[in-house]
Amino acid sequence: MATEAVTQPRERPEWIDFLISQMIALTGAFAFAALIGAVIVIAYGEDPVFVYRTVWAFGTSRPQDFAIVLENATPLIYSGLAVAVAFKAGLFNIGVEGQYIVGMAAAAGAAIYMSGLPTALLLPLVVVAAMAGAMLWAAVPAVLKVKTGAHEVVTTIMMNGIAVSLVAWLILHPLRSDVTTTDLRTEDFPQSALVPNLATSLGIEDVIPDSIVHLTWLFPIALVVCVAVWFMMFRTRLGYEVRAVGSSPGSAEAGGVSIGGTQIKIFLMSGALAGLVGLNHILGDTGYLGSNYETGLGFSGIAVAFLGRNHPAGIPLAAILFGMLLRGQDGLAILTELPIEILIILQGILILSVVVAYELVSRALARRRQAQLGQAAS
């Protein structure tokens, strides 16, 4: 075996290669989706450039518009994080949808029954209640998976269905408002339970009217949570074990990691994050929980997670993109004859292309690495 020092050629560190490959994948996927979108738009007799510009403009022309984009993005960041942390352990949490609505119901319960407390106590309590409710909801599929092997995709979807009925019952019975008789909703939450509007706090509500834009402190908090999740995942022992389990459970186990225990812990954490998804809606926008609460945030979170490569740095960016597309729908409805469903299709195509592009790029990168490895060995 040769023992002389072999000068290895200076190589780009791996993470740069990785970043470059992700950029290539994203660009390719976006280009492809934009192309398909353009084709569809032309088929409708509209101008694709105009359409894309409208979407862009509706999200960026005034500070107020961008604020709406960020407002849209806020729940998606939490939702994307929830899906992503579970995915790192190899688990699919499709149940964020059900978890967040249970979270909202729990938050509503806390806000209503503890309404006497001052803000400093009530608001955190409400938030914790949301997280706890969602965690409880996530615990069922988690424990079933670990104890019986029941596939979490099926169980979480079933839990979603149960959640809808459960929350409906809660809104109509124990939490029902005595005051209003026609609407199906809870009472208004006390002011002390609501999350302050960001524009109001910063004193810029003349530029960003708080009656239209409900961008709250939950947005910057979401960014902080992203950093915290990054730290947890890449700098703590728990995150290390989660990634090991998700990547190579056999080796993790031989390294002393408890697979089931780790899976349950991370699924609960995923649930906790899911609990935050609905808060901007009920604590920053409506101020109550109505039976027509906002739905779909759990599923959009899956799309956001995939688009953001399941990484705490990519997720907020993906969420903002989605926020922009959501905002752009309004623009399209006003300024064009296009059915807004086009954007939904585009989102779908985008996700598909992104997923395929990532796969192709990872494999190409792996092949290149293998080749380099072979060269070094000769």
The H or E element that residue 271 is part of is helix 259-275
Q: Please report whether residue 359 would count as binding another protein according to CB under 8 A.
A: yes
Of 275-283, 297-305, 319-327, 328-336, the segment contacting another protein by CB under 8 A is 297-305
> 350-378 in b/e burial notation, b at 16+ Cβ within 10 A?
bbebbeebbeebeeebeeeeeeeeeeeee
Q: Please report whether residue 235 would count as binding another protein according to CB under 8 A.
A: yes
Looking at the Cβ atoms of 128 and 157, the one nearer to another protein is 157
CB of 257 to another protein, least distance (A): 8
Are 59 and 69 in contact, with CB atoms under 8 Å apart? yes
- In angstroms, the CA 162 to CA 55 distance is 37
Q: What are phi and psi of 185, to 5 degrees?
A: -160, 175
Q: Please report whether residue 43 would count as binding another protein according to CB under 8 A.
A: no
Q: Please report whether residue 1 would count as binding another protein according to CB under 8 A.
A: yes
Looking at the Cβ atoms of 24 and 238, the one nearer to another protein is 238
- Near another protein by CB under 8 A: residue from 14, 119, 121, 179: 14
Are 73 and 320 in contact, with CB atoms under 8 Å apart? yes
- Near another protein by CB under 8 A: residue from 24, 117, 136, 158: 158
Q: Please report whether residue 155 would count as binding another protein according to CB under 8 A.
A: yes
**What is the 8-class DSSP label of residue 295?**
-
Pair of tokens at residue 224: 């902080």
- Near another protein by CB under 8 A: residue from 251, 260, 313, 333: 251
Q: Please report whether residue 261 would count as binding another protein according to CB under 8 A.
A: no
The H or E element that residue 153 is part of is helix 152-172
- In angstroms, the CA 343 to CA 351 distance is 12
Q: Please report whether residue 8 would count as binding another protein according to CB under 8 A.
A: yes
Are 99 and 86 in contact, with CB atoms under 8 Å apart? no
Of 68-76, 187-195, 327-335, 338-346, the segment contacting another protein by CB under 8 A is 338-346
Of 114-122, 191-199, 281-289, 348-356, the segment contacting another protein by CB under 8 A is 348-356
Q: Please report whether residue 274 would count as binding another protein according to CB under 8 A.
A: no
Looking at the Cβ atoms of 197 and 353, the one nearer to another protein is 353
CB of 127 to another protein, least distance (A): 21
- In angstroms, the CA 230 to CA 218 distance is 18
